[in-house]
Amino acid sequence: MKYLVLMYADPAATEAMTADERAEVFRRHEALHRDLEGAGEMLNGAGLAYPRDTTTIRWHEDGPTTTQGPLTDGREQLTAYYVIDCASPERAREIAERVLDFHVVAVEVRPVHDSFGMGEA
């Protein structure tokens, strides 16, 4: 089963990280990538630009509207993601727990449905 692992952090805290803290985060993610790629569980992943560089487009009856910034105004924002393929929801959660630290303070684990989650009604 495929899962999307969404990582959330405080962008202000990310910008304030020291070089040593950035190196530690990089080392942890590199180790996770090696482990998951070796097991055939890592499909994709990337870090995202700062939320201030985001454009949000919303649907309205009179046409789309565009605003600068993320969808929500919360302190923690989506900062990175992985797409993994593993045997169970428990394994997906186990993988997700490995990215939690002083930087990534919350992680969502969401199953990926090839049919866009819009099964027949």
Instruction: Provide the token pair at 118.
Output: 């819009």
CATH 3.40.640.10: does it fit domain 2-111? no
Q: Which of 8, 3, 12, 19 is nearest to 80 (CA)?
A: 8
Q: Where are the beta strands (DSSP E) in 10-73?
A: 42-47, 55-58, 65-68
Task: Name the residue ranges covered by the structural domains of the chain.
Answer: 2-111
SS3 sequence of 59-108: CCCCCCEEEECCCCCCCCEEEEEEEEECCCHHHHHHHHHCCCCCCCCEEE
* Residue 78: strand pairing partners: 8
CA-to-CA dists, residue 77 to 47, 64, 99, angstroms: 12, 23, 15
Percent of the chain with pLDDT over 90: 87
CA atoms within 13 A of residue 22's CA, in its CB half-sphere: 8
Question: Is the pLDDT at 106 greater than 60, yes or no?
Answer: yes
Q: What is the pTM of this model?
A: 0.87
DSSP helix/strand/coil, 61: coil
Mean pLDDT within 70-77: 90
pLDDT in tens, 13-61: 999 999 999 999 999 999 999 999 999 999 999 999 999 999 999 999 9
Using DSSP, state whether 38 is helix, strand or coil.
helix
